Amino acid sequence: MITCSAPGKIFLFGEHAVVYGKTAIACAIDLRAHVTVEEAGSIQMKGPGGNIDINPRKHPYIYTVVEKFKNLTDVSGVCIDIRSDIPVGSGLGSSAAVTIATIKALDIFYGTNLSLDDIAQMGHQVESEVQGRASPTDTFVSTFGGMVQIPDRKKLGYYDMLIVIGNTGKFSSTRKIVSNVAALKERHPSVIGQIMDTISAISETGIEYIQTGDFHTVGELMNINQGLLDSIGVGSKELSELVYASRKAGALGSKITGAGGGGCMIALCEHKNLSRVAHSIKRAGGDSFICRTSNSGVRAEGKS
């Protein structure tokens, strides 16, 4: 029996601008997906009431990973069990984490010796096939962990940051929101182009302040980034309510993470304010959980 885990991610800065080749900073968090694989009579998944067949419509990521492994080795009898702390469909990279942890677990199980680059690449292919189009960010961060500058995919050092995530619980389609922004940019190329340049400058300035541990200034830059995300139409009433509630409770800064329109926001906090911020987000109607940035990418949790 082999268990592997992989992390979810947040965007500290730069989502949407990165679609236009500008700089963004994404970071792994300590919410993880765990995947256990063990020998079985056929290819199965663990369901709530026992083992079930893997269904390409219900379990598209796992199904596609298994199909990829069939090209590498003889896949016949394996049961896959998934447990994840990462809320699904909220921009925290839950599908990437499940995909990457499954690839690593099957890699160990079958002795296919994939490198981390191979794992990230296969993960990106799986997400692209399932979703039609996928940014490589989620699978890259989930594989390598830590803080990553995109689009260069440059791993920056690790900096421990305390984050409260607020989830609006509202589904939002990344594809639709990205295309709304593209339409806005087409109508106002110079205005939106300059906003994207400014977001990129925020990311680049943000890296310096993260590296010197000046989280007050990092928070200030997150707030400026949030204003610009609002200006390109990816905010929502619910997201703004959580953002303002977190700031009122003492967060150093807060913003949308990911595509926006719904999904999650993040609040950078000092230790003394963590639970106040988390409660305040709850009172404002969101689900909240405390996490920290993490340097750990995909990893084996143990064999038995």
Q: How many residues does the chain have?
A: 304
Considering the complex, state which of residue 15 and residue 241 has its C-beta at the smaller distance from ligand PMV.
15
Residue pointed to by tokens 């806005």: 184
- Residue in 266, 300, 303 with CA at minimum distance from that of residue 100: 300
Residue 87 beta carbon to ligand PMV: minimum distance, rounded to whole angstroms: 12
The one catalytic residue in 74, 138, 160, 214 is: 138
> Which of 29, 43 has the CB closer to ligand PMV?
29
Q: Could you say whether residue 15 binds ligand PMV (CB under 6 A)?
A: yes
39: exposed, middle or buried (Cβ count in 10 Å: 0-12, 13-18, 19+): exposed
CB of 15 to ligand PMV, least distance (A): 4
Question: CA–CA separation, 267 vs 164, rounded Å?
Answer: 5
- Cα–Cα distance between 127 and 76 in angstroms, integer? 23
* Token representation of residue 56: 């390409």
Distant-in-sequence, close-in-space partners of 12: CB < 8 Å, separation ≥ 6: 25, 26, 27, 147, 161, 203, 206, 210, 218, 222, 266
Report if residue 7 touches ligand PMV, rule: CB under 6 A. no
Report in angstroms how near the CB of residue 259 gets to ligand PMV at its nearest: 4
Does residue number 25 form part of the binding site for ligand PMV (CB under 6 A)? no
Segment interacting with ligand PMV, rule: CB under 6 A, options 12-20, 237-245, 269-277, 279-287: 12-20
- Phi/psi for 50 (5° steps) reads 130, -175
Helix axis angle for 189-211 and 174-187, nearest 10°, is 120
Sole binder of ligand PMV in the list 5, 8, 16, 27 (CB under 6 A)? 16
Is residue 53 part of the annotated active site? The answer reads no
Among 91, 146, 206, 235, the residue binding ligand PMV under the rule CB under 6 A is 91
Q: Which is nearer to ligand PMV, 36 or 236 (CB)?
A: 236
Nearer to ligand PMV, 217 or 240 (CB): 240
CA-to-CA distance for 28 and 21, rounded, in angstroms? 21
Q: Is 174 in the site for ligand PMV (CB under 6 A)?
A: yes
Q: Out of 23, 44, 102, 137, name the contact with ligand PMV by CB under 6 A.
A: 137
**Interface with ligand PMV, residue 18, by CB under 6 A:** yes
Residues 216-275 that bind ligand PMV (CB under 6 A): 258-259
Tokens of 42: 């056929």
Among 11-19, 105-113, 282-290, 295-303, the segment contacting ligand PMV (CB under 6 A)? 11-19
Write the Ramachandran bin of 21: left for phi over 0, alpha for psi from -120 to 50, otherwise beta. Answer: left
Residues of this chain that interact with ligand PMV (CB under 6 A) are 15-16, 18-19, 91, 135, 137, 174, 178, 258-259
